[in-house]
Amino acid sequence: MADPLSTTANTIAVAQLTYFTVKTVYQTITGLRDGPKSLQDLGPDLENLHKTINSMQQELEKQGNDANLSDEQKQNLIEIQPSLQGCHSICRDFQDKINNTLRHSKDGRVSFRDRLMVQFKENEIAEFRKKLLDFKTTFIVCIDLLNFKSISQNLERTKSLEYTFEKTANMLLGRIEELRISKEEILESSLVRSEIQQPDASEVLSAIEQHTIILTHCQKSIMAALQQTTKTTGHSYKNIALKNTSRVMMGDMGQVQRGAIYHSYDGISVEGPSIVVAGNMDGNVAKDFLNMN
């Protein structure tokens, strides 16, 4: 049983709350017999998300407590908690908006009036769908990281996993940049002063800022995962050009054990009296190297 004060237990609690919130929205959407296509398309995304959260919760329960986690896994979970909380809040708010938008509909049948209202919210629904993908990809990385011990026994599988983590990290960076651009466009546009009333603009800006904070936590959780894989795959040093009297060491320093991490080196060029050491180096040797005249 998980320690009630542990990072693992706290994450399980937040995951459980988020799971039920996402599932509630899923049940609402799939309960519409003739809902607009934009809402129906949310069904598979919501289903995949609540199943992913459930899988993450199960993996956490297998861990039992923090003692079974690496520092990188703990850091990942610390960042996953606000990501889960953000997912809960966003899905809860969307549920409230759906209830308000479909307030004239009954027994799963969408009224004509409510169907028109949904059409005015197409952009909002599309953005909500993007957020579901943000969360799903982040939580999948968490699941993979919790299973890292078995995966790391195979270097090729670990490299493949690391590549997936890097893609997810880049995707999240792209989303953060997308939100930054959207915020700037709203602030700079004359629409803020004319076609869009100030309260509406403020609400949109607030939503952008809140999701940017959530995505930052998601991004940090992925970086923790990458730190874990790098311990197995090593660093890659590429296309490094040195001139004049440069002195560079690439690799691990200190009491490097036999069987230490393998690093790769490619495209390293030296011009002039520069000195480069590519590989792991004992601490005393490294000290002598730095003190060479």
- pLDDT tens, residue by residue, 216-249: 999 999 999 999 998 888 766 667 777 766 667 6
How far is C-alpha 39 from the chain's CA centre? 25
Instruction: Decide if 195 is inside a domain.
Output: yes
Q: What is the pTM of this model?
A: 0.77
DSSP E strands, 138-189: none
Residue 188, pLDDT above cutoff 90: no
Confidence of residue 85 (pLDDT cuts 50, 70, 90): very high
Same domain, 195 and 284: no
Confidence of residue 138 (pLDDT cuts 50, 70, 90): very high
- pLDDT tens, residue by residue, 42-72: 999 999 999 999 999 999 999 888 888 999 9
The pLDDT value recorded for residue 154 is: 84
Instruction: Decide if 163 is inside a domain.
Output: yes
Question: Given 233, 258, 273, which residue is the final one in a domain?
Answer: 233
Same domain, 92 and 185: yes
How far is C-alpha 204 from the chain's CA centre? 22
**Domain span holding position 283:** 236-290
Same domain, 46 and 128: yes
- pLDDT tens, residue by residue, 268-287: 777 777 777 766 667 677 67
Using DSSP, state whether 251 is helix, strand or coil.
coil
- pLDDT tens, residue by residue, 10-19: 999 999 999 9
Which one, of 221, 278, 228, lies nearest residue 248 by Cα?
Answer: 278
The pLDDT value recorded for residue 65 is: 81
Residue type, 162: E
Question: Given 184, 210, 233, which residue is the final one in a domain?
Answer: 233
Same domain, 245 and 227: no
Share above pLDDT 70 across residues of the chain, in percent, rounded to a whole number: 74
Same domain, 159 and 229: yes
Tokens coding 93? 């708010």
The Cα 234–Cα 161 span in angstroms is 13
